[in-house]
Amino acid sequence: EQESVDSKSDLSQGDGSNKQHHRTSQRDRYQCRYCSFESHKATHVTDHERTHTGEKPFSCRFCRKAFSQKANLLRHERLHTGERPFVCPVCQQTFTQRNALEDHERIHTGEKPFVCGMCGRAFSRQSHLRRHERVHTGERPYQCETCGRAFSQKVTLNMHRKRNHM
């Protein structure tokens, strides 16, 4: 059963807007007004609800590009400032995003947590697994706009363009 909770339902998000959330009374969880998403933090629900509303209250001070979440704005602004706060403890390479550092660290550890369900081959990055899976599915999502030929990898399409159409 959902109930509106006045003390926790009108939450200012620092952008001047007040949002009404519903709290699941027994579990102290908040639920999205548009779908079944719920969280123990009202701010998580507010961030999520912007996927439904399209609201983007956070703007880049350099280029005015707008974002729905403050964390995405801060990550974007690093492109302008050159800030690279995440440092590999092994080789000191720097990164703008924490997940990029985590991906990089697997080079040093040899960890390959992404495993192909069809052949068992393992990869250090999820994007490499997705690219590999096209070997099994035959998917060719990259198409040459000049001749119509399709490729499974973007790099192969670019090589084709240079060899055949430039």
pLDDT of residue 138: 96
Q: Which of 25, 16, 20, 74 is nearest to 45 (CA)?
A: 20
Whether residue 10 contacts residue 2, with contact meaning beta carbons closer than 8 Å, is answered with no
Q: Which of 157, 132, 155, 133 is nearest to 146 (CA)?
A: 157
Whether residue 166 contacts residue 144, with contact meaning beta carbons closer than 8 Å, is answered with no
Q: What is the mean pLDDT of residues 70-99?
A: 96
- In angstroms, the CA 126 to CA 147 distance is 31
The DSSP secondary-structure symbol of 33 reads: S
Confidence of residue 148 (pLDDT cuts 50, 70, 90): very high
Domain boundaries, the chain: 2-53
* pTM for this predicted structure: 0.58
Q: List the beta bridge partners of residue 30.
A: 23, 39
**Range in 9-18, 99-108, 149-158 the model is least confident about:** 9-18
pLDDT of residue 18: 43
Q: Is the pLDDT of residue 26 over 70?
A: no
Helices (H), 54-125: 70-81, 98-109
pLDDT of residue 15: 40
Strand, coil or helix: 101: helix
